[in-house]
Amino acid sequence: MYLFVLIKLKEIITQLDSESFKDIEKQLIKTHADNFLVLAQSYKSGNDSDLQIAEKLKLTSNSFYVLKSRLYRKIQTHLAGETPINKLEVLKQLQNIDEMCFTIPRETLEALLQKLEKDFLGLEMHNELILVYGAFKKVYLHSERYFHYSQLYNKQIAFALSLEKSIDTLGNFNRVLGMYGFSKSPELLNLLHALKNEIISHFELNPSHQIEIIKNIVELQIALFCETEKNNTYDISEALAGTRKLFNELHDSSPVKKWNLAIDFLHFEYYKKSEQLKCAIQYYEKVNASLRSLLLYNGISNTSRFFISKIRFLTDQGKTNEISEIILPDIYFDGHDKATKILFGMYCAMQNYYSQNIKNAIQILNELINNHCFKDFFHIQLEVKLTIAFFYISISENRLAGSLLKSVYKKIKVDELIHYSHALDLIKLFGMQLSKNSENKNRLKEADLFTLFSARNSGTYEILHHLLPELQKKFTTNLNLNRSHETKRT
């Protein structure tokens, strides 16, 4: 095929308009490419044969063949534009492909299409390749190569459809992941793995950097947010590094290239979870700086979790003043995204709590309870209600706190929710706070209950991640005061 094109090189050059040929001449003169210039000018004038040109340049037949092939590539580059590809230039060329099929000589069009094909293949620009191969089919309609380009055309359609389907499945995965975080349902966990396997199948059938990134994002989120025990067969750090490498190799025109913030979020969650503080701070600052648009990426990775992670991350560092800072009023998010609205509401409530506006915090959480149906999402409902109860206790609204605790206790007992025994420990502890009896003996019981709660509060059904530092401060202080008092007595 390539030899066939070189035979037509002379035709391509003679078909170039005078302006295009002058541009090529200027480029060759500027780069002192004298042999290329002689060959191009000889073909344009049509006065010399290949043998005469080779003798004039004192080249062997092999050297002359190499010279022709390199000149052909230079002309291709001139016709299609220099790489790296500019998105606007690409779109302009693609829009004109159909017109060029009927307005320029076949040899010139072939050179242009082959250059575009080479560039787009290297950049995995599947939608653009569909148009290129569609044009090739027109060019080779009466040639034996028509079947070859028909196959390539169909292959790129399969790639493009696989990518679109993978992006759609990723969005569905994140929607289900949000529901799983609110319910801890084993059925939803099985669905998450099924969606992961669906994307893996797409990647195996149509491997590309873009689908591999989607596959990695899904696997990373299962490892970070669903697996409570360490998986020795899956290296999160290695997967993150591999994903970043793939991401950096994408062309700017790829839709996946715009997902940088979602990937930064996953880095933050990993470094926070693995207690690598220096790296966690670096990615926290990146993600927090883009807080306004962060929630719009919730279909790429579960970015709404950042608000709960932010609370815990800052409190662990003793920076609760940063939580109470006024948040941007015009944060963008999908108004239909229930999970995001609830997690953001919890963040706003904690923000008011640390600003000493506890009544406002209670109002925000009560509105979440009243405005959303939690029928299938007991886990998040439990967290919201226990947080409200803690706020009530903080302002001595004991009657309201007691009523709330009774309803939660009854739900766990009646429905036999055996995974929430640690929640019963905390409910009992809160109940003791409602008592006016503040004797040292009572404080000892509170400290023991909190120790028991802390020991049980881990794994899949861990609760109140955002509130644990406050609980620890409150009940660890009681324990220390108690020990000090007992020491003095003895």
Mean pLDDT to the nearest integer, 432-449? 72
* pTM score above 0.85: no
Rounded to whole angstroms, how far apart are CA atoms 471 and 464? Answer: 9
pLDDT digits (tens, 9 = 90+) for 327-338: 656 788 888 888
Longest Cα–Cα distance in the chain:
115
| pLDDT value, residue 169 | 97
Q: Which of 247, 326, 261 is nearest to 293 (CA)?
A: 261
* Residue-averaged pLDDT of the chain: 85
Q: Are 447 and 473 in contact (CB under 8 A)?
A: no
pLDDT digits (tens, 9 = 90+) for 360-403: 999 999 999 999 988 899 999 999 999 999 999 999 999 999 99
Rounded to whole angstroms, how far apart are CA atoms 247 and 263? Answer: 9
Mean pLDDT to the nearest integer, 356-361? 94
The pLDDT-based confidence of 130 (bands split at 50, 70, 90) is confident
> Which whole-number Å values give the CA distances from 335 to 225, 371, 372, 443, in the listed order?
24, 13, 13, 45
Q: Which of 176, 187, 153 is nearest to 225 (CA)?
A: 176
Higher pLDDT: 336 or 216? It is 216
